[in-house]
Amino acid sequence: METKSELEKSSEVVEVNDSNQERANHSNWLERKTFRIVLLSTFTALAIVLGYLLANFPNIELFTLTIFLSGFILGKRDGIIIGFLSSFVFCFFNPLGASPLPLLSFQLIHYSLTGLLGALISELIRKKTSLRTEDELYQISIMILFGIIGALITLSFQVFASLVDVLMYFGTINEFLPYFLTGSVFTVVHIIGNTLGFIFILPGLIQLIYKMLY
């Protein structure tokens, strides 16, 4: 049976470990308002530029990954802002044509939620794995998690974007299935591309940014 002093020592060890963990995940840079504004602007611009660069490659994109990454690094509020701003600029001033208002509204919501999801996944990983800034993210469990998230984000986008298109052009969901199946090849390419990006590119980008910020 532990004595009172032993319990107190155990409690002190836990508190020290928690303090060390908090310091490991604390960045003085991110506490600076001006620097966060610079990062917010940089992520927004990066997402837009990557969107334009890959616009001529059907359903091959790093736009979604960049927005998710921004939320993972900067948190919920900034992730939502970056998702909203970057999707508004890219989708409204798209070189292939501006999105119609119903589709644009969906895209703004979808990418804002993508930024939010990035922040929530960051919190989850830190909580479940006690992730530190110097940890290697190329772990099977994390790579699988990122891959599943990338696939689900992309699939949800394809499904709901197709649904919006069908309702907008046909006024009924009866044409949804044939419409969706018609573009199934592009959907598969989109899902595979983003899944691989989330598995192999995202962990490396997170580690790189962590090394610069912490």
Give the confidence band of 79 by pLDDT, cuts at 50, 70, 90: very high
Residue 29 has pLDDT above 90, yes or no: no
Regarding pTM above 0.85, the answer is yes
Class level of CATH domain 30-213: mainly alpha
Q: CA-CA distance, 149 to 115, in Å (whole number)?
A: 12
Where would I find the H helices in the chain?
Answer: 4-24, 33-53, 63-74, 76-92, 101-129, 140-170, 176-182, 184-196, 202-213
Token duo for residue 30: 């991110």
Tens-digit pLDDT profile for residues 31-59: 889 999 999 999 999 999 999 999 989 89
Q: CA-CA distance, 11 to 13, in Å (whole number)?
A: 5
Tens-digit pLDDT profile for residues 177-207: 999 999 999 999 999 999 999 999 999 999 9
Q: For residue 136, what pLDDT is reported?
A: 81
3-state secondary structure of 40: helix
Q: CA-CA distance, 72 to 115, in Å (whole number)?
A: 8
Residue 210 has pLDDT above 60, yes or no: yes
Q: CA-CA distance, 136 to 67, in Å (whole number)?
A: 22
Q: Looking at residue 2, what DSSP letter applies?
A: -
Residue 18 has pLDDT above 80, yes or no: no
Q: For residue 26, what pLDDT is reported?
A: 64
Token duo for residue 159: 């499904």
Q: Report domain extents, the chain.
A: 30-213
Q: For residue 132, what pLDDT is reported?
A: 64
Mean pLDDT of 19-26: 47
Q: CA-CA distance, 119 to 6, in Å (whole number)?
A: 38
Query: Range with the lowest mean pLDDT among 106-120, 122-136, 162-176?
Result: 122-136
Per cent of the chain over pLDDT 90 is: 74
Query: Apex CA 113: angle with CA 107 and CA 118, to 5°?
Result: 130
